A = this chain, B = another copy of it.
Amino acid sequence: MKSSTITVDESNAFVTRFDLPPAGSGPLNGLCFAVKDVIDVAGCKTGCGNPTWRDSHPTATAHAVCVEQLLRAGARCVGKTICDELAFSLLGQNYFYGTPLNPKAADRVPGGSSSGSASAVACGLVDFALGTDTGGSTRVPASNCGTWGFRPSHGFISLGGVNPLAPSFDTVGILAQSIDVLVLAARVLLAAGSASVNKPEAIHVIQDAFALADAEVQEALSEPLCRLRGLCGERVTKTSLGDLADDGSNFANWADTFCVIQWAEINSCLGAWIADAKPKFGPDIAGSFELTSQLDRRCVADAWQQREEYFRRLHEVLESNDLLCIPTTPALAPRKGNPPVRTSRSGGYYPRTLALTSLAGIARLPQVSLPIVDEGGIPAGLSLLARHGQDDFLLEVAKTIENNSAAEQVLAASANTF
């Protein structure tokens, strides 16, 4: 555990702590990390944030592949982190384990479902942490807690030893305090080298994504966007999702498609267990799972068709060194106590957030969320996305932007760094 001004107890980020030394030496030497409790660590129960799950499943006999990779590369694992029940929430308030601290905004939720991983990183207790991200579960808490967050291209980080939620969208994500650490850890998990190109050809700023965001988020992101224009000049262009994909679709369409498939797969993965084990859920979560079981599954085929059309369209349009830019979330982290409900209609927190997060999910894109703060110091996230499979490129560009921004915030506006 790193020394921090915030104690482990104050953070409430951990389910359990231990000290698992490195199993090799490499690029992660000297770094420590925590693991979301849906990912196996040998000798521990993988509790998935729900006591009934924990008590009805055996102790893991092996580390997840991703944990092996990090240990082998020199990192030390210091514990497992609290998450939302069965990873199915974007809020980070666990009825049984409590709410991990959002140290940048203590009266607000950390975001979920990788709540404890985001909290542990933001509290300075670890260098980085593993989360998972199906519908935003790494990106949203990264945005809320002011950390870096990374969702890889689907299928490029091993899910061996990670509890499935919705296989078509499940990924292992990473949260980190710095882009340098994020890139180091991501390269190990992706088995990536340095990208040969780190100069974006075009950065498409998707206007209707920004239009979904609250005024305070738009305001917070305007300065970083200006900086991006300063760094990249005319390669930064404004567009809309429908214009980009040239199919007239909008974020609500994408989110609808995402939700049908996600709910169907969640019900496929967990429905039988829920019906059989009759687990005790927190009050909000029970309703969420109820929704997945009420889905008319005959819709799934049409949704899958639509998903692949969206995927193909964007895959054809995007060049290998293009980027997309959107807000990570449409709102600052909700305040604790009266959380937004999943069933609220289009203007609500969930529909707007899923609208933004479904872009990477549907199109299998990698996404990095950069930590930004608003005028009052409350975190927000600005996201860059790249073409499916272009994870190395995306990470390199994010690193270049951050390092140039940090070093030359003033000069950059005229220097056109790339």
Binary flags per residue of A271-313, CB closer than 8 Å to B gives 1, else 0 = 1110111000000000000000100011011101101110000
Residue of B nearest to A266 (CB): B160
What chain B residues lie within 8 Å of A315 (beta carbons)?
389
CA distance A168 to B155 in the complex (A): 7
> Could you tell me how many residues of chain A have their Cβ less than 8 Å away from some Cβ of chain B?
58
Partner of A268, one of B73, B161, B273, B305: B161
What chain B residues lie within 8 Å of A106 (beta carbons)?
none
Partner of A64, one of B191, B268, B302: B268
What chain B residues lie within 8 Å of A305 (beta carbons)?
191
What chain B residues lie within 8 Å of A191 (beta carbons)?
304-305, 307-309
Q: Are B158 and A69 in contact (CB under 8 A)?
A: no
CA distance A271 to B268 in the complex (A): 22
Within 8 A of B (CB), among A155-175: 155-156, 158-162, 164, 166-168
What chain B residues lie within 8 Å of A302 (beta carbons)?
72
Q: Are A268 and B65 in contact (CB under 8 A)?
A: yes
A364 within 8 A of B: yes
Residue of B nearest to A276 (CB): B58
A225 within 8 A of B: no
Within 8 A of B (CB), among A223-253: none
Q: Are A65 and B265 in contact (CB under 8 A)?
A: yes
Residue of B nearest to A267 (CB): B62
Q: Which of A69, A160, A162, A261 has the most CB of B within 10 A?
A: A160
A264 within 8 A of B: yes
Closest chain B CB from A152 CB (angstroms): 12
Q: Which 3 A/B pairs are nearest by Cβ-Cβ distance?
A: A160-B265, A161-B268, A58-B276
A61-B271, A68-B264 given; 14 more Cβ-contact pairs under 8 Å = A57-B272, A58-B276, A59-B272, A62-B297, A65-B265, A68-B300, A72-B298, A72-B300, A154-B155, A158-B304, A160-B264, A162-B167, A188-B301, A191-B309
Can you list 11 A-B contacts with CB-CB less than 8 angstroms, sorted by A residue number?
A61-B275, A62-B272, A65-B168, A68-B297, A155-B364, A156-B308, A160-B166, A160-B261, A160-B268, A162-B167, A191-B307
